[in-house]
Amino acid sequence: MTEQTSPERTLVIVKPDGVRRGLTGEVLRRIEAKGYVLVGLRMVEATQEQLAAHYAEHEGKPFYGPLVEFMSSGPVVVALVEGHRVVEGFRSLAGSTEPTASAPGTIRGDLGRDWGLKVQQNIVHGSDSAESAARETEIWFGAGA
């Protein structure tokens, strides 16, 4: 097992439902309470180009259109978060993508609502790997972020 010498980075997005419900501060508070550092933060209206690039691996799947439509339905807050094993740690902090199945204590378990088939309305997105984090960070913050 090798020791990680530099902190890892991940991309976190507070989705339109989280922003609409006024949960951005609570999500960011939980990230910082976990010991992670916010190294980039902005509120944006996602463009179709950003969403197409971000969700490129899902293009053609049945949920792609509704997901892009939802993600462009209001502002999102994108955060570049840094810390030891932050990709894995944030995904654990976020909880299951289905809010009803998320454990208490997780962002989705405590704050998520069951919207039936609209699983994409689950407050936050977190990168699923260091490689995805690097790709997604470039989409939302530009090269060199």
Higher pLDDT, 128 or 115: 128
Domain count for the chain: 1
CA 59 – CA 13 distance, rounded (Å): 19
Q: Which domain holds residue 118?
A: 8-141
Higher pLDDT, 47 or 101: 47
The band of 1, judged by pLDDT with boundaries at 50, 70 and 90, is very low
Q: Tens digits of per-residue pLDDT, 37-51?
A: 999 999 999 999 999
Residue type present at position 32: E
Q: Are 39 and 31 in contact (CB under 8 A)?
A: no
From the list 54, 58, 84, 125, the catalytic residue is 125
Judge whether 3 lies within some domain. Answer: no
Percent of the chain with pLDDT over 70: 93
Residues belonging to the binding site for ATP are 15, 63, 91, 97, 108, 122
133 token code pair: 């984090």
Phi-psi region of 115 (alpha: psi -120 to 50; beta: other; left: phi over 0): alpha
Q: What integer pLDDT is reported at residue 75 of this predicted model? A: 98
Q: Measure Cα distances from 145 to 5, 78, 117, 132 in Å.
A: 19, 13, 35, 14
Judge whether 92 lies within some domain. Answer: yes
CA 64 – CA 62 distance, rounded (Å): 6
The band of 6, judged by pLDDT with boundaries at 50, 70 and 90, is confident
Instruction: Give the CATH number, domain containing residue 57.
Output: 3.30.70.141
Does residue 2 carry a pLDDT above 90? Answer: no
Residue type present at position 96: S
Q: Tens digits of per-residue pLDDT, 117-137?
A: 566 789 999 999 999 999 999
Query: Is 58 a residue of the active site?
Result: no
58 token code pair: 């899902």
Residues belonging to the binding site are 15, 63, 91, 97, 108, 122
Judge whether 84 lies within some domain. Answer: yes
Judge whether 2 lies within some domain. Answer: no
